[in-house]
Amino acid sequence: MSAKKIVGKAGDRSIVVMDSITMTTKEDAGRIVVSASHGGVSTAKYALEFPLAGVFFNDAGVGRDAAGIAALPMLDAKNVPAGAISHNSARIGDVADMWENGIISHVNAAAGARGLKPGDTLSEAVLLLGS
């Protein structure tokens, strides 16, 4: 899998996977983005540059003070559904591994309201954001 690629659709929304959230561009507005970046504060800033339909990161082991998932509440404040993939299910920095093997470990309230929950596979979760 290349560093950034559209891998399908969820409803009328394209699903784009990328190794780093820094690859997000204005063309990704309205898309569901799967990024192999950690889910920290800096990644939320990139994700908030464009109105995404949803975004997923690697939880990076969550870390001290939940630094690996700090993006989730920041995105929730803007009503952007977001989730983190368990580092035990897929490698950070490897979006192909996340796409093929990722299991949700954490979701924000906006994602939870759409039916996403820990334990879902990434492929199940993105479909819930397609409507």
Unique residue bearing structure tokens 């997923």 = 56
| pLDDT at residue 81 in the model | 97
Locate 27 and state its tokens. 């063309």
- Per DSSP, the three-state class of 23 is helix
Q: How confident is the model at residue 1 (pLDDT cuts 50, 70, 90)?
A: very low
Closest C-alpha among 95, 45, 105 to residue 71? 45
Model confidence band, residue 69 (pLDDT cutoffs 50, 70, 90): very high
> Where does the pLDDT of residue 2 fall: very low under 50, low under 70, confident under 90, or very high at 90 and above?
low
Backbone angles phi, psi at 54, to 5 degrees: 175, 160
What local confidence, expressed as pLDDT, does residue 66 receive? 87
More confident residue, 130 or 115: 115
Instruction: Name the average pLDDT for the chain.
Output: 92
Here the tokens at position 39 are 């889910």
Q: Which residue has the higher pLDDT, 55 or 60?
A: 55
- Here the tokens at position 37 are 């970046």
Confidence check: pLDDT of 30 > 60? yes
> CA 98 to CA 111: how far, in whole Å?
18
